Amino acid sequence: MVMKRNVVLPAEWHPQSAVQLTWPHASTDWAGMLDEVIPTFVAIAGEIMKREKLLIVCMDEKETRRQLGEYADEKRIVFRTIGSNDTWARDHGGIPVYEDGRPVVCDFVFNGWGMKFPASEDNLITRRLFDARTFAPGVVRRNMQPFVLEGGSIDTDGRGTLLTTARCLMSVNRNEHMTKESLEAYLKETFGLRRILWLEHGCLAGDDTDAHVDTLARFCSEDTIVYVKCDDPSDEHFAELHEMEKDLTAFRRENGEPYRLLPLPLPGRITWEGERLPATYANFLVINGAVLAPFYGLPSDREAADVLSRAFPGREVRGVNCLPLIRQHGSLHCVTMQYPTGFM
């Protein structure tokens, strides 16, 4: 008789041991703007190190230390020299779970968001972190091939409910051979879930991920979800985000009650070389004692911070300039991956 595993996918606000950053270098798409994006990574690193350890995957440790300057703290940073195609740790990083209380890192296939971009090096990062004995003794790597899954495509309340988007999980070149029912069964088994809430609507112009949920709507507690709202009928996002709001309004908690929904403003139209960029305040990172919020130099930054303060009472909200990040179609949550207690 096979004993059923007790699997828990912890919420992001679960106490953390470390956060991973995969550092920009000259062989990434950041090559032409390293001087602009490195300060954003340094700012994120500095905020993390105030509260927990930082794991940095980099091509050149000496150069990364130089860029970090005063933040290059031996006691707070674990450096690993590992090759990478890009810097989106949320999607190429391992996904941490507890199996019967034991820390396990699920290593899914990362294929560049449905084979849109090169990812052969990124797909090996988690394996190489284990080869380098990066994690705490007893932490296990679980090889999840051939299933394709990015951390930005899922969000959880830590109590057995997952929030995701049908547009991403059922997209071409991910797991298109699977039906929605088989996908749901797989996710429930893998992450110990009881329920999956599927957003059927919602997307942002300029998004390469096929509507990752971490750009649209996020759990902030067992009963609260923040989401991106568009109030301007002339904006290209209005119809999709209005329909997404209706999806969220229809969702119910396990006890049958509706969720407390807190709308985040949609940042104004930010463009680069004529293309609208997918700026979003939903791409925040929860760390020990704080929430790191992406800021874009707009009046709506303060409004978004106020919403996040209401959603996370008792946590400090710290803004980080993420204008450089959205030039490559991602933001703050996209470049980070947290590891809960017991992993580092």
Average pLDDT, the chain: 96
Asked if residue 311 is part of any domain, the answer here is: yes
Q: 258: which 2 tokens? A: 């509706």
Asked if residue 245 is part of any domain, the answer here is: yes
Considering the entire predicted model, what is its pTM?
A: 0.97
8 A C-beta contact, residue 55 and residue 16: no
Domain holding 196, by residue range, is: 7-340
Give the Cα separation of 323 and 301 in Å (integer).
Answer: 12
What one-character DSSP code corresponds to residue 282? T
The yes-or-no verdict on residue 172 having pLDDT over 80 is yes
DSSP secondary structure string for all residues of 187-249: HHHHHT-SEEEEE-----TT-SSSS-GGGTEEESSSSEEEEEE---TTSTTHHHHHHHHHHHH
Asked if residue 2 is part of any domain, the answer here is: no
With the CA atoms of 18, 284, 68 and 21 taken in that order, what torsion angle do they form, in degrees rounded to the nearest 10? 50
User: Does a cis peptide bond (omega within 30 degrees of 0) precede residue 299?
Assistant: no
Give the Cα separation of 216 and 280 in Å (integer).
Answer: 8
Task: Give the model confidence (pLDDT) of 94-144 as tens digits.
Answer: 999 999 999 999 999 999 999 999 999 999 999 999 999 999 999 999 999
Task: Give the model confidence (pLDDT) of 273-321 as tens digits.
Answer: 899 999 999 999 999 999 999 999 999 999 999 999 999 999 999 999 9
Measured between alpha carbons, how far is residue 194 from residues 166, 186, 189 in Å? Answer: 18, 12, 9
Q: 241: which 2 tokens? A: 């985000």
Quick one: CA dihedral 206, 278, 57, 132, positive or negative?
negative
Asked if residue 100 is part of any domain, the answer here is: yes
Asked if residue 88 is part of any domain, the answer here is: yes
The yes-or-no verdict on residue 77 having pLDDT over 90 is yes
Residue with tokens 């699997």: 7
Phi, psi of 196 (to 5 degrees): -130, 125
Identify the band that residue 4 occupies on the pLDDT scale cut at 50, 70 and 90: low
Asked if residue 105 is part of any domain, the answer here is: yes
Asked if residue 1 is part of any domain, the answer here is: no
Residue 256, domain CATH: 3.75.10.10
Measured between alpha carbons, how far is residue 93 from residues 98, 114, 146, 342 in Å? Answer: 16, 16, 16, 17
The yes-or-no verdict on residue 1 having pLDDT over 60 is no
- Domain count along the chain: 1
Phi, psi of 228 (to 5 degrees): -80, 130
Angle between helix axes 61-68 and 34-49 (nearest 10 degrees) is 80
